[in-house]
Amino acid sequence: MADSQKTTVNITADWQRLERHAWEKFRPRLEAVRSLADVHALLADAPPVGSPSSPFFSNLAFFLVTFRPAPGTGPDELALYEPLLQRLAAAGDLDRRDAAVGLAVIRNAAV
C-alpha cells in the first residue's frame, strides 16, 4: 500500500475529527441563540449537505418543526435543545405549550 493511500480507519478518524471540530464551532452558536430571528440566521448559514457540520443544522431544523429529535441526533445536541426552547419561550417567540411539548419530548428521549 502506498503511503499516500489512506486506510478506512484513517479516513474514519479524519471524518470524526472534522465532526468534532464542526461541533465545537456549532455549539456556541446554538448557545447564543436568543430568538427565532437568531435561529433563522443560524440556519441560513447552514453548510452544504455532506459537510461535517450539516447534520447539526438539519437536526436543529427538524427538531424545531416537529419537536422530535431527528434520527442521529446526539446526546450533546439534545442537551442544548432544552435550554434553547426555554430561551425562545422566555423571548415570547415560542408558545409555552409548544415549549412544554418539546421539553417533554427531550426529557423522554434522554432517558
Task: Give the pLDDT score at 96.
Answer: 85
Q: pLDDT tens-digit profile of 65-90? A: 999 999 999 999 999 999 999 999 99
% of residues, the chain, pLDDT over 90: 67
Predicted confidence (pLDDT) at residue 1 exceeds the cutoff of 50: no
Task: Give the pLDDT score at 49.
Answer: 94
Backbone angles phi, psi at 110, to 5 degrees: -80, -10
Measure CA of the first residue to CA of the last residue in the chain; give whole Å: 46
Task: Give the pLDDT score at 16.
Answer: 82
Q: Read off the amino acid at residue 94.
A: L
Task: Give the pLDDT score at 4.
Answer: 57
CA separation for the pair 17, 90 (Å, rounded): 35
Task: Give the pLDDT score at 78.
Answer: 93
Chain position carrying cell 499516500: 4
84-110 residues labelled b (16+ CB within 10 A) or e (exposed): bbebbbeeeebeeeebeebbebbeeee
Q: pLDDT tens-digit profile of 3-50? A: 456 677 676 778 788 889 999 999 999 999 999 999 999 999 999 999
